[in-house]
Amino acid sequence: MRQKLHSKAIWLFFVGDIIELIVMLAIFFILAVVITGRPMAIISLLLSNLSWWLALIVIVVLGIVNYIVARVYYDRYLFEFAENAIKIEKGIIRKKYVSIPYERIQNVDIERGVLARILGLSDLQIQTAGYGGEFLTEGRLPGLSVENAENLREEIMKKAGVGKQGL
């Protein structure tokens, strides 16, 4: 049966994208200052009334578009525990289908970043053995409830035949 992430995962995607947007705008501002060599001219342009209204409109429109994209991405992020493998399907324009056979799974980690902890969510990372003996995170399920992540971790570890890991 195909499952979805926790509904709060939308906010995880939304805020992550907003942070990326802010970083890109900061880089754009720095590049504009470096290219023109006139930081005060750019700052005075930004401080003009017209610029503030234009910036506000752009921010609101980008925020709405970003929320819609986060919502659609959430709706398209599905996972399933099949008989022999974990199947993950995600993406909007470029779809990605991942199938991880249980026998290749070496470890399952649970991570909780700052935003995820605020929202009460966890990130389940499924690791397989890679080339040279290093572990590769081949599957990721962000935005799971804490309890669900721990239960899924135990279920995966049982199906993979790996002894209980961690604390």
Domain boundaries, the chain: 3-75, 79-160
DSSP for the chain, please give it: --EE--TTHHHHHHHHHHHHHHHHHHHHHHHHHHHHS-HHHHHHHHHSHHHHHHHHHHHHHHHHHHHHHHHHHHHT-EEEE-SSEEEEEE-SSS-EEEEEEGGGEEEEEEE--HHHHHHTEEEEEEEEE-GGG-EEEEEEEEEEEHHHHHHHHHHHHHHHTPPP---
Query: What tens-digit pLDDT sequence spans the chain (167 residues)?
Result: 899 999 999 999 999 999 998 899 889 888 877 888 877 777 776 667 666 777 788 889 999 999 999 999 999 999 999 999 999 999 999 999 999 999 889 889 999 999 999 999 999 999 987 655 566 778 899 999 999 999 999 999 999 887 554 44
